[in-house]
Structure 1
Amino acid sequence: MLAVLSRHQKAVDIGLTALVGLSTVVSGKDPEGFGWWLLSLVALAALLVRHRNPTITFAAGGVVALAHLAMGNDVHPVDVVALIGLFSVAAWGPRRHSLALLAASLLVAGAWSCYAAEANSRPPAQPPPRIIIIDTLAPVADVEDDQVQDWGGFPGMGLSLAVAWLAGLNTRQRRIRLSVLEQRTADLVRERDTQAALAVAAERGRISRELHDVVAHALSVVVLQAQGAQAALERQPERSREALDAIVGTGRTALSEIRRLLGALGQDSPAWEPQPGVERLPRLVADIRSAGTPVEFRVEGEPRPLSSTVDLAAYRIVQEALTNVLKHAGPAASVTIVTRYGPDALEIEVTDDGSAAEPPSGAGHGLEGMRERVSVLGGAFDAGPRPDRGFAVRATLPT
């Protein structure tokens, strides 16, 4: 409700002015006089700037109410403008300013009440003796015409002022709480959007690493198999056919994984397929062997189920290490793969005896990708040339 009213302040002020003015006209009396109505118009005009400058509304309403009080008139709806102004100052103005205006108003009300009480307590002056001819048709004069109007005295005026100020203060507190809640809601929405954007960026980074591993490995195997098939095409056609079959199998596997990864981005809708893990390492080793690279694969310790993140990271680390062997170790290199199940970690070691001490700079992001995978899981990673010959990749993944 407060939010709706705050968005239509001018309409609220116009409606309030019309309501007070109409109530004043209905309750007004003919003997009020031209001056009284002129002052009332000033107070009504001050209501139109209540939100923009409530101090003017209070000042104009207070002066008009005090003038009406001095004229000896009863209280009318237009005299409430002073209370509305005080309410508005307490609701939208500085608190110290509203307190000062409240104190000044109470001081004026107290002073007027004292003056009215003293004036009304004086005995009426005795007129000189004279002969009075009573006209029975003339109206009897009101004995209270000489009484000074006090509108309920200090208790009535002071209580009205205090209630108006407290109501404005309560409105101010509610408005502040509403503003805080709106700001907090906006902050939560921004935080949610930021978290969602970060999650999307992290997922896209993960998928990009997956695509790099899949495509790099598949292309390396395909190129080596194609070279072997080309060399044996004339002398050993059967070996060429086997190499071509391996190329087809490798390509289909790579395409299946690429479709799965792109499906995670919403760019494709393939059938569901589980992510690769350590159980697929024998098939990966078989593909490398079919490409002509000798591979020794050993499993030490008792194999056990792994979490999906550790399972996928182990497979991708071995896959990327084998891809680097195919690309950089040379045609005569052999590879040894060891997966060691410890009490609370899975250790992976991939070593080769190739001619390349380490992948050349600018050759890709395979080592960085492996190191990042291990770092995310809180493990340890080490990669570098061996003392005698070849290259070694070692990773420890907490389980």
Structure 2
Amino acid sequence: MTWTDRLDRWMRAHPVVPDTLLALAIAAVVGPPSLDILQAARSPAWVLWVAGICGSVVVATVAIRRIATGAAFFLASLAMVVTVALPNTMVNPAGLGLAGASGNMEIPLFFLPSSAVYLVLLYAVAAQRPRPKSLLALGIGVTGALLCTARTATGYGALPAGWLTLLLAVLALVAAVAGTWAVGCSHFDRRQRLVEAAARAVERAAADERQRIARDMHDIVAHSLAVIVRQAEGGSAIAAKSPERAAQALSVIAGAAREALADMRGTLQVLREAAASDGVQPSLREVVALVEQVRATGIDVRLVERGSAHALTGGAGVAVYRLVQESLTNSIKHAGSHPTVTVTVSHGPDASVVVVEDDGGDAEDQSAVPGTGAGLRGVQERVHAAGGRFEAGPLDGGGFRVRAEFRRRQGASR
């Protein structure tokens, strides 16, 4: 994180600091001309002091416009009401540097430049508060514009251009108020859209993470339990005739349970740490151990490997492992007795292809272990996420076939 990022984060956490700087900058702009008007004005001292204090209050409320928006707008509105209620004052235009001006001129004291700062507070309410509250602020602002116009008309009596001048003054003030409010509402709506978009992104990320966890849990639990169920069934059938084979089945059950427990602990550790760790994910190199584990259950599993997998990405390697794991799990669960399963992993110059086929075993002795197809859907999602193509379906002569193909990216090393 750069120092500008740190500064920006600190400023966002302490909005009163930039708002105070903004108030000082505004005071530097509108303060001198406002003081010039008050010094040139011919009114009782208390009137000028009240006008100056009210103008200072309006400017000062800019410093708290974000940390106390409602209070700032209320104080500014109260100060403007007091300013509008003050009697008009007489000023000498020549003393203000107005060329060609002669004689004295009567003006309301809300003509002070500091009064224009009230629009900043109206913008703050529209940008920080929900629409009902900002509409109330808009109503107050429009009412103030009408009062200022009426006060000007009664102060001057007959306006130079009559009702047309009055109408233009009303339209100008209302347009300034409404335009400021509209800009603030646009900022509020844009910020709300960004918040909603961020919330949707978080929800999508959480849903994707839940789906990934569900796939991992299914891959771990379904495979291990399928091995355990098959071994338990076989062991119970041969326990009386061949205690040695029953003991071997129990050893396989214990090994599968230990592996599932280790995988579950790894997954839960990732959840506790809330950090993905690709280094603990299974890879293509572990397919051999997986085949050996299933082969120990008595299923005829044949592994055929061709070529080198140096160009296969890590994500594709995980997808291959899960594909083989799920395919072997389905063969254990759904194939009949004595099935033959062939796992073929071929790496060519243009693509890596993984095929898992079983012959269905004895169709009259198929296992009744239920399945929902969620495992293959999870494998398909993994393969597609790794940029591969996925196929799965029954074979004409019986059995089942699962295939995935990962095309080599252009520019990959050969």
Q: TM tier, shorter chain?
A: 0.5 to 0.7
Task: Indicate yes or no: 2:395 matched with 1:386.
Answer: yes
What is the match of residue 80 of structure 1? none
Aligned partner of 1:364: which letter? T
Which residue of structure 2 lines up, in the alignment, with residue 395 of structure 1? 404
Match of 2:77 in 1: 13
The offset of 1:324, in angstroms, is 0.9
Match of 1:65 among 143, 150, 155: 155
Q: How does 1:206-217 map to 2 (within 5 A)?
A: 206-217=212-223
Instruction: Compute the TM-score of the two structures, normalised by the length of structure 1.
Output: 0.62
Between stretches 223-232 and 17-26, larger displacement belongs to 17-26
Could you tell me which runs of 5 or more consecutive residues in structure 1 were left unpaired when the two chains were aligned. 28-39, 41-48, 71-100, 109-160
- Alignment partner, residue 113 of structure 1: none
Q: CA deviation at 1:382?
A: 1.8
For residues 221 and 368 of structure 1, what CA distance do their matches in structure 2 show?
Answer: 21
Alignment counterpart, residue 268 of structure 2, candidates 262, 265, 277: 262
* CA distance in structure 2 between the aligned counterparts of 1:359 and 1:175, rounded to whole angstroms: 71
Alignment of 1:100-111 (within 5 A): 104-105=164-165
Count of aligned pairs: 295
Percentage of identical aligned residues: 31
What is residue 372 of structure 2 aligned with on the other side? 364
Residue 280 (structure 2) pairs with residue 190 (structure 1): no
- Taking a change above 3 Å as real, the CA distance of residues 104 and 362 of structure 1, as seen in their structure-2 partners, is farther
- Note closer, same or farther for the CA distance 1:224–1:102 as it changes in structure 2 (3 Å cut): farther
Matching of residues 1-399 of structure 1 within 5 Å: 1=62, 7=70, 9-21=73-85, 51-54=141-144, 56-67=146-157, 104-105=164-165, 165=172, 175-266=181-272, 274-304=280-310, 306-355=312-361, 363-365=371-373, 366-399=375-408
Contact 2:153 2:166 in 1 (8 A): no
Q: Deviations 1:167-222 (Å, cap 9, x if unpaired)?
A: 98667655544433332222112111111110110111111012112111101111
**Residue 74 (structure 1) aligns with:** none
- In structure 2, C-alpha distance between the alignment counterparts of 1:373 and 1:232, rounded to whole Å: 39
Partners of 1:286 and 1:172 in 2: how far apart? 76
Query: Residue 343 of structure 1: SS of its match in structure 2?
Result: coil
C-alpha distance in 2 between matches for 1:386 and 1:305: 30
Aligned to 1:114: none
CA distance in 1, matches of 2:183, 2:218: 52
Alignment CA distance shift 1:26-1:104 (3 Å): closer
- Contact conserved, 2:142 with 2:177, CA < 8 A, in 1? no
Stretches of structure 2 lacking an aligned partner (at least 5 in a row): 1-61, 92-107, 109-138, 409-414
Letter in 2 for 1:392: R
| Letter aligned with residue 16 of structure 1 | M
SS, match of residue 303 in structure 1: coil
CA RMSD of aligned residues (A): 4.0
1:397 Cα deviation after fit: 2.6
SS of residue in 2 equivalent to 1:206: helix
Shift of 1:56: 3.5
* Separation of aligned partners in 2, 1:66 and 1:202: 70
Larger radius of gyration: 1
Matched letter for residue 377 of structure 1: A
Residue 14 of structure 2 corresponds to none
Q: Deviations over 1:269-323 (max 9, x none)?
A: 9x99711111111111111111000111011112215323211111111111111
- Work out the CA distance in 2 between the residues paired with 1:362 and 1:239: 26
Contact 2:142 2:178 in 1 (8 A): no
Change (3 A) 1:54 1:18: closer
